[in-house]
Amino acid sequence: MSAAGSASSPPSGGAGLPSDPFNLLFTILRYAGLMLLNALGLVIIYGFISDDNLSLAIVFAVITVGANIITFVPALYPLRWMTPGLMLVTLLVIYPIIITVVTSTTNYNNFHLFTKAQAVRLLERQRYVPEGAATYAYQIFQNEAGEFALWLSREGEGGALEVAFAPAGAPIVAVANPPAEPPETYEGYRLLAGADRTAALTAAGQTVFGIGDDTAQISSRREAARPLVQRYVYDPATDRLTDNQTGTVYVADNKTGFFTRENSAETLSPGFRVSIGLDNFSRLVSDPGLRGPLVDIFVWTVVFAFLSVVTTFAVGLAMALVLNDPIVRGRKIIRSLLIIPYAMPGVISILVWRGMLDQNLGIITRTIADTFGVQLQWFSDPALAKVAIIIVNLWLGYPYMMLVTSGALQAIPSDVYEAAAVDGANPSQRFWQITMPLLLVTVGPLLIASFVYNFNNYMMIELLTRGDPPIPGSPTPAGYTDILISYTYSLAFGSNQGADYGYASAITIVIFILVAIVTLMQYRFTRSWEEVSENV
């Protein structure tokens, strides 16, 4: 560490004697750790390259090389302290941002899950049973690990029994001097019979036995065929895929991300990812089906975030004013009781509210129905669902506002009020013209932060209403209470119409820009940027 110490600014006098045994141990540990990291890094990078995943290979290369540079360049000593943090941030913060931006310009969805190389490899793995392939009778074997094997038998030339044993993913070997009936166990595999055999038939039917050119597959209930032939062959020069079984030629369409049959709409599955430029973004504004729900969702997102801030702030401030009054007794206990909603885990609180508001069984709904004779449809009426969300969010959020405004109120000097009273200001004037302006200066940034938080308050929507009730006729899964982030989530992981990562990423970037603008306003407000500059 002594050499490194001289690179940093503080005077390094006699820092770190080289003979210090603790230091020596530390140095050894550091280099051993680095060696391990390098070895692992190389393996991982190679693994990603052979999986045709170039981008993650590059990220791990950057991380590994970066760690080495930081360790060996003395001038980078300060960065050594940050090495683990930098590695994490590179992989899990910076790279996801880049990936999101890149994905937003691709057609990455359920039909285009793979890169072109991965798709070609998957297609080239497909096999078919050619005409004239030898057919065998078969028995299914299984080993401890659950892997299957086939016992293939047929009548060979001259009527002699010819038997081969074909494990999945391993070479097929001929069995010399075969017994007439398959044995109970063979090379660690156990013969499946009766119900076991029936149960295994589906899985075994999808398994390719053998390896390389010599493979076998179950072709019917009684027969298995061998050898199988590779079905598709890719020619990189012409960018075409030929079907050996039918002779059809498929051309790679690098605009739509499919192998398409010439003069036909027929495509092969899986497709592959291609760049489609800014199409996802232009679809946001041009596709009327998408634009419709998106505008509604955006408006509701803003309204929801705004109302959440206003209601929680109003109630929180009211409670803070009441509790700051010295004539109220037991303030400490009351405050403790009132912050319980804030302390409860959010998942639990929201789910409990959903149970209480349940439109058939919930205790609140039942009580209202018994008292007023109205069965409130909390989750199927759009307006009521929105009211429910605001009420529950108020319950969750007001203690926070109460705590921060309470602190801010105490910070307002009392002589300001005395002066106002002398000038004849009435209580409402004092509140609106003294308390509020002074309060807003302190808690203003927190209000903006709260707005941003609620803008992306996915958990609230997902747990309470899941975005329901659904907007009828929307081409994408969308609901009246969906906010942008929950809409994005169902686009990316939704089940009905399949995942559309590209489009979801485009919306994510729009959200990011909106949030960044609001946050920038907040920093202006708090002069955080100036603070940064001063501290540097």
Partner 1 sequence: MSEKAKKVAHVESRMVVSTRDKLVGGTIRYIVIALAVIFALFPVVFIVSSAFNPAGTLSTQSLIPRGVENFEELFTNFRALMVDELETYPFWNWILNSFVVASITTVLVVLITAMSAYSFSRFRFYGRRTMLLGILLIQVFPNLLAMVALFLILNDIGRLADTIPEALPFLSFIDWSWIKRFSLDSIGGLILVYMGGAMGINTWLMKGFFDSIPREIDESATVDGATHWQTFWQLIFPLVRPILAVVGVLSFVGTFNEFVLARLVLRDTDSWTLMVGLFNFINSDFNRDWGKFAAGALISGLPVVALYLALQDQIVGGLTQGAVKG
| Residue 102 to residue 274: CA distance in whole angstroms | 11
Q: What is the nearest approach in angstroms of partner 1 to the Cβ of residue 273?
A: 11
Among the candidate windows 208-216, 218-226, 249-257, 442-450, which touches partner 1 by CB under 8 A? Answer: 442-450
Those residues whose C-beta lies under 8 Å from the C-beta of residue 350, and which sit 6 or more positions away, are 392, 396, 459, 460, 463, 464
Q: Kindly list the distances between the CA atom of residue 350 and the CA atoms of 306, 344, 389, 510, in Å, as whole numbers in the listed order.
A: 20, 10, 10, 28
Q: What is the nearest approach in angstroms of partner 1 to the Cβ of residue 56?
A: 6
Q: Kindly list the distances between the CA atom of residue 260 and the CA atoms of 200, 234, 264, 402, 500, in Å, as whole numbers in the listed order.
A: 36, 13, 7, 62, 21
Query: Considering only residues 53, 68, 135, 248, which one is a binding residue for partner 1 as defined by CB under 8 A?
Result: 53
Query: Considering only residues 456, 465, 481, 490, which one is a binding residue for partner 1 as defined by CB under 8 A?
Result: 456
Site for partner 1 in 374-433 (CB under 8 A): 395, 397, 399-400, 403-404, 406-408, 421, 424, 426-427
Look up tokens 């391993």; give the residue: 170
| Residue 252 to residue 116: CA distance in whole angstroms | 9
Those residues whose C-beta lies under 8 Å from the C-beta of residue 363, and which sit 6 or more positions away, are 356
The yes or no reply on residue 328 touching partner 1 (CB under 8 A) is yes
User: From residue 476 to residue 515, what is the string marking binding to partner 1 with x (rule CB under 8 A)?
Assistant: ---------x--xx--xx-------x--xx--x--xx--x
The yes or no reply on residue 368 touching partner 1 (CB under 8 A) is no
Specify whether the CB–CB gap between 378 and 384 falls below 8 A: yes
DSSP symbol at 430: H
The yes or no reply on residue 467 touching partner 1 (CB under 8 A) is no
Among the candidate windows 94-102, 148-156, 255-263, 278-286, which touches partner 1 by CB under 8 A? Answer: 94-102
Query: Considering only residues 314, 363, 440, 441, which one is a binding residue for partner 1 as defined by CB under 8 A?
Result: 363
- Selection from 301, 303, 319 nearest residue 398 by Cα: 319
Query: Considering only residues 162, 253, 287, 358, which one is a binding residue for partner 1 as defined by CB under 8 A?
Result: 358
Site for partner 1 in 177-216 (CB under 8 A): none
For partner 1, how many residues bind (rule: CB under 8 A)?
123
Nearer to partner 1, 134 or 518 (CB): 518
DSSP symbol at 465: T
Nearer to partner 1, 93 or 195 (CB): 93
Q: What is the nearest approach in angstroms of partner 1 to the Cβ of residue 222?
A: 33
Alpha carbons within 13 A on the beta-carbon side of 405: 27
Query: Considering only residues 25, 28, 35, 47, which one is a binding residue for partner 1 as defined by CB under 8 A?
Result: 47
Query: Considering only residues 267, 390, 519, 521, which one is a binding residue for partner 1 as defined by CB under 8 A?
Result: 519
Q: What is the nearest approach in angstroms of partner 1 to the Cβ of residue 335?
A: 8
User: From residue 65 to residue 84, what is the string marking binding to partner 1 with x (rule CB under 8 A)?
Assistant: -----------xxxxxxx-x
Helix axes 279-286, 288-324, angle to 10 degrees: 80
Query: Considering only residues 128, 298, 431, 523, which one is a binding residue for partner 1 as defined by CB under 8 A?
Result: 523
In the numeric block, which tokens belong to residue 37? 């990291």
Helix axes 288-324, 436-455, angle to 10 degrees: 140
The yes or no reply on residue 314 touching partner 1 (CB under 8 A) is no
